[in-house]
Amino acid sequence: MILRKNNGFTLIEVIVSIAIIAMIGVILSGFVSTTIKARNISNDRLKTLALCTSYLNEMKSLQDDFNNEASIEEWLDDEGFTAQSNYFKKTENNINLKVYINKNLEEPGLFELTIVGKSVNASELSISTVIKGGD
């Protein structure tokens, strides 16, 4: 009787191991793809929030210069916003911005400013503040 020593893998064993490695690769590529999409959406939302906050902080720092709604509208016009029916709009860095001015507050001279930002990949977000115009 002749005994042979097996030193390698059979073709079936190699094919099965390649199939298992391929399945693991497909699963991991799905995780990586989802993670990249989520990171891009999060990054877009962060940029949108930063831009909205920047404009809101600037308007808040200039609140003493805003005597009435017209002075706020003039500042927005100087910043490149265009007037629409009830808001001002601007697109900056692929982010669509809308500024709403609510002057119908209980105390005269108070204005509520709301900025709504929307980037291509993320949902809308809005932030608001109330400012007291200068006398």
Q: Where are the domains of the chain?
A: 11-132
Q: Which two tokens stand for residue 87?
A: 């808001």
The alpha carbon dihedral of 74, 51, 130, 99 has a sign of: positive
Cα separation of 45 and 123, whole Å?
Answer: 8
Q: What pLDDT score does 3 carry?
A: 61
pLDDT of 99 strictly over 90: yes
pLDDT of 1 strictly over 60: no
Report yes or no: 101 and 73 within 8 Å, Cβ to Cβ: yes
β-sheet bridge partners, residue 129 = 113
The model's pLDDT over 2-54, given as tens digits with 9 standing for 90+, comes to 666 667 778 898 899 999 999 999 998 888 999 999 999 999 999 999 999 99
- In this structure, the strands spanning 88-92 and 95-102 are antiparallel
Q: What pLDDT score does 67 carry?
A: 82
Whether this prediction's pTM lies above 0.75 is answered by: yes
Band (135; pLDDT cuts 50, 70, 90): low
Instruction: Please count the CA atoms within 13 angstroms of the CA of 51 that sit on its side-chain side.
Output: 22
Cα separation of 108 and 111, whole Å?
Answer: 8
- DSSP class of 90: E
Scanning the structure block, which residue is given the tokens 């100087």? Answer: 78
Q: What pLDDT score does 15 carry?
A: 93
